[in-house]
Structure 1
């Protein structure tokens, strides 16, 4: 993906190195300036839609290259970059992200002899286990009779019996408290889970002047789009803001009717065609009541008409 990002940067330099804000606004890229900048950073592969808008405004619109050939060439480059595995998939000989520690050469292993001849966990010459004692130290004498073992239990055994009794008593108390809690809370209604608010939109279609429509030079016409509120947030005070320049004239912003979740809104703008034949394309993005752009990763809605000769 780094090689693909380098190609994008090289194309940007060939086209005069415009800023990402200029590419998104004046040049008419259907992607936000942050998305365009991220595409050229190489940290992750951009979506094909963002990559094509990056290439289209520079290679086709600014450098005048053939649209179909350019799209076919860059689509192939993008597919090859997508097929390259991520570095995160490389196996490493580490444990939880860190190399496994190596034992020092002078570390003694269990069951090996010390320099003074004592062996940890091995038997002395007389058959008694030496533990960590040297060979010249006598082993402790065993009990003389089985009766002594029964009549004088070891202190550790007594501690174990006390510990087990305490654990049983604690378990009985815990079971009783759990039953009391369940009895007192049965039937109480749990508070409903709160669903986080979601703000989203979807383009439904062109109501008037679909893409490629012809208009006469100097004529005035009304463009209408229909969009749907597919989120859980009601729209109020929102507008469509123009984000590029061009030969067609129109207001800089137009209002969006108040729209509840699940409803559609028809948005209209009055446009005046230029006096000379040519193409006319205007891009628009939704903003909130304070003029802040919303949905930066979504494609803008746009007007695309052809001004024909009289």
Structure 2
């Protein structure tokens, strides 16, 4: 018997899916429709399917899922390749032991034709016919899925339903700008000034300006700088004890830009605008730095429901 089995395969898939779910949570738990719009490449149904745990998402789907969460896809490549290799090995060992694999079909027995150097003519013809049928079916499936995305009535939410956390989580969040190609990675800009989504209108904060280190701007290598933003309290109550918490670990001086894990924010009275200064040390190698932050309360929980990350995105040259 193989050391791999259904429980082991499920564990491998669940472990990677858990990583994707964590990214989505850190991004503020956007709806799959909102993620699909940010991606612009795959449907909300594909986004949803990626985290169901029935199979390992393809690398292409993983890339778009990461982008929709504001994460550099390359940070997931090693984990995805480990999981994919383990599943392929699992399928090979199970086939050798006489059991069917859930993800890898057993290799067909080659025909003993007079010509054994390649596939037979009939096999090629059947293969071409199957490809054509697959393309036609795929076209209609995508058309149906895109049609459901474009139908505003399908995602309509009544005010009463939106008052619950589950319904509010499914509401589309503020759209981010498009991801811009930078050669070695990606660069994304913070959205225009908008209040953080919140179910409590008394507590709201609004990003006003990037004072220093504007999005997608160049920065020198190995320099200690200051990143600064201005924020406005657009709620009716003072905002006390807020901190900006970095999401994701610091990966080292050659791969990443260094910031504090948490940066305190002074009390902001209703209607007041404050400047937040954060120490920011650029990488020692040429790289695209993309660092995300969320507001947290003194107890470490998120300060605003369904908030979007605030991020720094610079080209270190």
Larger Rg: 1
Give the alignment's TM-score, normalised by structure 2. Answer: 0.45
